[in-house]
């Protein structure tokens, strides 16, 4: 398992690389305070990646042939800014609906970062739920997002409003996870990992 994959495995669904926020502030001589200034950050147009088939991070005792795991085996993924929305597409090596209790993630940055986020689309027994996790002021905030992914065979797509998301970085991380035999199986994809 690569160092990049081990880093990703620390989060249940995936940790990624991204951008940071710069801020300036301070005081000069005595009690005269200089007001804080925030440097504006522009969004990129998004990111994409391709991933080898069959490279799941399988815990000991979980065979690669476990039914449904091809539904979390990322082949290609993208998140593209289109006007005021982020268009997400993730193609798997097998049917998305076959994956047991699966989570599909688009994220950027490290947890606790002001420009970091994780968009988690969870396919459970009751259907889909989508949650946006951000860390404004280094405190985790979870918000349910009214987005239901559309599944067509091996491809999942979703359209997410940019409102509420931090500016989109040049590099995004895509990840999946599913329970198999009481163990968590994951896959990830990033343009940064070659």
Domains and CATH numbers, the chain: 3-17+44-52+73-193 (2.60.40)
Q: Given pLDDT bands bounded at 50, 70 and 90, which one contains residue 66? A: confident
> What percentage of the chain exceeds 70 in pLDDT?
78
Please give the mean pLDDT across all residues of the chain: 81
In tens, the pLDDT along 20-46 reads 322 333 333 444 444 444 455 677 899
User: Looking at the whole model, is its pTM more than 0.85?
Assistant: no
Closest CA to 48 of 194, 190, 186: 190
Which of the residue ranges 49-58, 59-68, 128-137, 161-170 would you say has the lowest mean pLDDT?
A: 59-68
């Amino acid at each position: 398992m690569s160092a990049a994959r081990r880093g990703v495995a620390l989060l249940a669904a995936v940790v990624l690389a991204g951008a940071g926020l710069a801020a300036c502030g301070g005081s000069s001589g005595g009690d005269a305070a200089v007001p804080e200034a925030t440097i504006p950050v522009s969004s990129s147009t998004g990111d994409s990646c391709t991933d080898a088939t069959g490279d799941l991070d399988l815990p000991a005792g979980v065979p690669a042939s476990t039914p449904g795991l091809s539904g979390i085996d990322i082949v290609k993924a993208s998140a593209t800014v289109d006007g005021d929305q982020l268009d997400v597409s993730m193609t798997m090596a097998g049917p998305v609906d076959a994956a047991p209790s699966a989570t599909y993630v688009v994220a950027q940055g490290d947890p606790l970062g002001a420009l970091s986020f994780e968009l988690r689309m969870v396919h459970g027994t009751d259907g889909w739920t989508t949650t946006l996790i951000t860390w404004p002021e280094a405190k985790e905030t979870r918000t349910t997002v009214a987005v239901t992914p559309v599944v067509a065979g091996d491809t999942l797509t979703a359209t997410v409003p940019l409102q509420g998301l931090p500016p989109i970085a040049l590099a995004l991380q895509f990840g999946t996870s599913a329970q198999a035999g009481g163990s968590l199986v994951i896959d990830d994809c990033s343009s940064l990992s070659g």
